[in-house]
Amino acid sequence: MSLSKLSLAALALAGSTAALQPIYAKGQKFFYENGTQFFMKGIAYQEDELPGGGPLPSDVEFIDPIADTAQCRRDVPLLRELGVNTIRTYAIDPDADHDECMALLDRAGIYVVSDLSHPKLSINRDAGEWNLALFDRYKAVIDELAQYNNTIGFFAGNEVTNNATNTPASAYVKAAVRDTKQHIIDQGYRWLGVGYANNDDPDMREDIAHYFNCGTPEESVDFWGYNIYSWCGESTMERSQYDDQVEFFTDYGVPVFLAEYGCNQVEGGAGGRIFQETGALYEDEMTEVFSGGLVFKYQNETNDFGVVTIARDGRATRMDSFEFLAREHANANPTRVQADDYESDFTTPSDCPARSDHWEAHQVLPPTPDRDLCECAVAASLCGPSGELEDEEMQSIFDFICENDAAACAGINHNATTGVYGAFSMCGQRHKLAYVMGAYYESQNQAADACDHGGLGEVKTNTAESSCEEPLASAAAVNEEAATATEGTPRPTGTGSGSNDEDGESFGAPSAVFTRVFALGDVAVGLYMLVAGAAGAAMVML
């Protein structure tokens, strides 16, 4: 069934005079600005394939789902028909124009929570970093979406740590949480939450939840998203282990919601989903702890998780599961509290998890990316590249210096297991290279051949301004301590960080595209690819 022009016109007229009330968090719950409790009735909204199927062209990194106005005009009425009040986007272009889509969503009573990364610029679970390029990207997304009342907040990561082998990556994500939260404060924005979306891995799901909720409020999450697919078809709280999640998160200090749910391991796949768990999600047993959830996902693609199919000509057709989800959303009427009547007792953060076979991330976090400090290091270096270098050339210099003078590389090393980070570990590859070349040159008493590196290096003049003196002195003290502490990570690799990528980072295993195995309460699910993929008091859409 295609979308009619009549339904689009009706949507355009509905609620056109007022903007949605902003959402904020208090203790373990979300509230509208007027103090009424808010529950997410949401869905993931991100196309990862071309209409009708097929991969994106090689020159297209991702599709921004809220920049395509024709798509928004097609889908927003359907989202409203679904009873959705929140969408989750996994990647947006901060330089695109989102005004029309965000206005359409606003008039339909729909909020947005967005991931900050994109498929080729995200924290690498197997070689984690928190650096200038990532921070710039995250800030740009925040700055773009902060202008809209119907933005709830952001995910600093999605399943970056997805099993016990890559838990150190969580330290870099938590640093991203800390720094993006501070950016929101520095910019004077209203409350906008920064959280994390975690998978349901039994070995580390408790440790990681505590890790992101421990420490100071400045570095802990504002909300927790839980990606869980354990309720398949007809089930129960006990058989799906939803009851265990309610028990575990009962005393968690921030709002918790299902950031992805909707098992497709049923007869008929995505189209056979009946969304029985959606009804349970808004019953008292769960709403005491959970603030709703986000179905995965709207568009049906190769991974078979949608409720709508998109034809090659762009027409949207409701699947059978669409009607089930719409019915469950319509019937849901969760018990709410008013903010003034809600006494939040969640003032004590979680205890940070101890190091174990299942958890290795240290509670000491990487430094905040500081472009000025990185530029100071380059300006002060007495040796640097003789020109623009290729990845392999940069790597050969890193290899030589770090093998022959470990202390020269202490300032760029980082180890999230020991909590030891060089002061320049957050810099780009260009900055790091200039720093280590200068450090090695000086350690060799400025020997004539210590800066040559086969013609790739040349002696420089210190051009650092006086304002660099104090931060460079502080950085030197940090690096001296790092040199004598537990050894950091090996020297940088050139992967994904050539001379035209000044703030370089490696993208060997970006978290936006991932493979996982679910052990569900009702059924064992095999390996598959998942691509990470009106207003005012009168309109309170739950």
Q: What's the 3-state SS for 89-145? A: ECCCCCCCCCHHHHHHHHHCCCEEEEECCECCECCECCCCCCCHHHHHHHHHHHHHH
Please give the Cα distance from 162 to 143 (Å, whole number): 29
Contact assessment for residue 509 and residue 301, using Cβ atoms and an 8 Å cutoff = no
Closest Cα to residue 210, out of 200, 224, 199? 224
Please give the Cα distance from 209 to 213 (Å, whole number): 6
Query: Which of 159, 219, 360, 393 does the annotation list as catalytic?
Result: 159
Give the E-state strand segments of 373-435 in sequence order.
383-385, 414-415, 420-421
Closest Cα to residue 159, out of 216, 115, 217? 115
DSSP bridge pairs for 197: 158, 225
Please give the Cα distance from 534 to 336 (Å, whole number): 19
Instruction: Please tell me whether the peptide bond between 41 and the residue prior to it is cis, using omega within 30 degrees of 0.
Output: no
Looking at residue 20, its amino acid is L
Map tokens 């003078």 to a residue: 405
Please give the Cα distance from 120 to 494 (Å, whole number): 15
Q: What are the structure tokens assigned to 286, written together?
A: 């769960």
Please give the Cα distance from 231 to 211 (Å, whole number): 26
Looking at residue 265, its amino acid is Q
Is 159 noted as a catalytic residue in this protein?
A: yes
H/E stretch holding 471: helix 469-484
Residue 156: phi, psi to the nearest 5? -75, -10
Query: Which of 260, 301, 328, 360 does the annotation list as catalytic?
Result: 260
Closest Cα to residue 107, out of 14, 172, 173, 43? 14
Q: At what angle do helices 5-13 and 69-81 cross, to 10 degrees?
A: 80
Report strand pairing: 457-459 vs 513-519: unpaired
Q: What is the DSSP letter of 88?
A: E
Contact assessment for residue 512 and residue 46, using Cβ atoms and an 8 Å cutoff = no
Please give the Cα distance from 339 to 271 (Å, whole number): 39
Is 247 noted as a catalytic residue in this protein?
A: no
Q: At what angle do helices 69-81 and 99-107 cross, to 10 degrees?
A: 20
Give the E-state strand segments of 418-481 in sequence order.
420-421, 457-459
Closest Cα to residue 292, out of 21, 518, 111, 29? 29
- Catalytic residue IDs: 159, 260
